C-alpha cells in the first residue's frame, strides 16, 4: 500500500493482518484457510486469497467496494468475498472474522443449533444456528449464512466453519473465540457415555443477555464472559 493511502485505511489494514495472524496463532485456522475483513466507509479491506498471513505486509492491502469491485491492491481478494459482503449488506458490522475452528466445525456437522450448554451464547445474540451447507465462495453459502445470522452476531457454517461480526475487529474476534469455546464445551460435556448435558432455557439466556447490557468498562466495546 502506498504512502498516499489515508491513515485510517493503513491502520485498519494493519489490524486486519494482525487479526488474521492471531487466528492462525490460536489454532482457529490452518494454512491460508479462513479470512478477515474490516470496513472503512464504503471500502472493505479483506485478506487476499492463498497468501500465508505471516507474509502479508503494508504493501499487500486488498480493498473492494460494497459491490465487490476491487479498488485497492494487486492481490486477489479471498474467495469468500461474497460471504463478507453479505454480512456488511445485512448488518451494521464493521468487521468480519471467518475461521475453520476445529470444535465449532465439528459441531456444525452434528446440530442445526448449538445447544444452550452455557450462557456464553448470549454474547452471540442467542442460540447459535448452523447455516445449511453450500460450497465455499458461492452466493448460496452467503444466503444461507445471512439466514442463520438473523438476530445473531455469529453462526456456524455446516461442514465448514464459523462466521462472526462486530463493531471492531477485536469484538468480532472475541465472538469467534467464544463460539469455538462454546462448541468445545458442548462436545466435551456430550462425550461421557450415558450422560446428557443439562441445558439453559431461553428465559435463562434472556436474563443473561439483559445483564450483559451493563457489563464491561465504559467506552470499551466487546462483551467477554463475565468474570
Q: In angstroms, rounded to a whole number, what is the distance separating the alpha carbons of residues 62 and 46?
A: 6
Q: In angstroms, rounded to a whole number, what is the distance separating the alpha carbons of residues 141 and 227?
A: 36
pLDDT tens digits for range 127-167: 999 999 999 999 999 999 999 999 999 999 999 999 999 99
Whether the CB-CB separation of 104 and 156 falls below 8 Å is answered with yes
pLDDT at 227: 55
Average pLDDT, the chain: 93
pLDDT tens digits for range 49-75: 999 999 999 999 999 999 999 999 999
Region 2-21: mean pLDDT is: 88
pLDDT beyond 70 at 18: yes
pLDDT beyond 80 at 217: no
* Residue in this structure with the C-alpha cell 454480512, named with its chain if needed: 87
Which of 125, 145, 128, 155 has its CA nearest to residue 84?
A: 145
pTM of the model: 0.92
The catalytic residue positions are 80
Please, which pLDDT band fits residue 1 given cuts at 50, 70 and 90? very low
Q: In angstroms, rounded to a whole number, what is the distance separating the alpha carbons of residues 9 and 169?
A: 14
Q: In angstroms, rounded to a whole number, what is the distance separating the alpha carbons of residues 27 and 110?
A: 21
pLDDT tens digits for range 163-209: 999 999 999 999 999 999 999 999 999 999 999 999 999 999 999 99
Residue 90 CB coordination number (10 Å): 15
pLDDT beyond 70 at 215: no
Q: What is the CA radius of gyration of the chain?
A: 17
pLDDT at 4: 64
Residues 6+ apart with CB under 8 A from 49: 32, 75, 76, 77, 78, 79
Residue 150 CB coordination number (10 Å): 11
Amino acid at each position: 500500500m502506498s504512502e498516499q493511502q489515508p491513515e485510517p485505511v493503513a491502520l485498519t489494514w494493519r489490524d486486519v493482518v494482525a487479526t488474521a495472524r492471531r487466528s492462525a496463532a490460536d489454532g482457529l485456522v490452518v494454512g491460508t484457510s479462513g479470512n478477515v475483513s474490516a470496513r472503512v466507509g464504503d471500502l472493505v479491506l479483506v485478506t487476499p486469497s492463498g497468501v500465508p498471513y505471516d507474509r502479508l505486509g503494508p504493501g499487500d492491502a486488498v480493498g473492494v467496494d460494497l459491490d465487490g469491485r476491487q479498488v485497492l491492491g494487486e492481490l486477489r481478494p479471498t474467495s469468500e468475498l461474497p460471504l463478507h459482503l453479505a454480512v456488511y449488506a445485512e448488518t451494521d458490522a464493521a468487521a468480519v472474522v471467518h475461521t475453520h475452528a476445529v470444535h465449532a466445525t465439528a459441531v456444525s456437522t452434528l446440530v442445526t443449533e448449538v445447544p444452550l450448554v452455557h450462557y456464553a451464547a448470549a454474547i452471540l445474540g442467542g442460540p447459535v444456528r448452523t447455516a445449511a451447507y453450500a460450497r465455499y465462495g458461492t452466493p448460496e453459502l452467503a444466503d444461507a449464512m445471512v439466514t442463520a445470522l438473523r438476530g445473531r452476531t455469529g453462526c456456524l457454517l455446516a461442514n465448514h466453519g464459523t462466521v462472526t461480526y462486530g463493531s471492531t475487529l477485536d469484538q468480532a474476534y472475541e465472538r469467534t473465540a467464544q463460539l469455538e469455546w462454546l462448541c468445545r464445551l458442548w462436545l466435551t460435556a456430550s462425550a461421557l457415555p450415558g450422560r446428557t448435558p443439562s441445558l439453559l432455557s431461553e428465559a435463562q439466556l434472556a436474563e443473561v443477555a439483559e445483564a450483559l447490557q451493563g457489563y464491561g468498562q465504559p467506552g470499551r466495546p466487546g462483551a467477554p464472559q463475565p468474570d
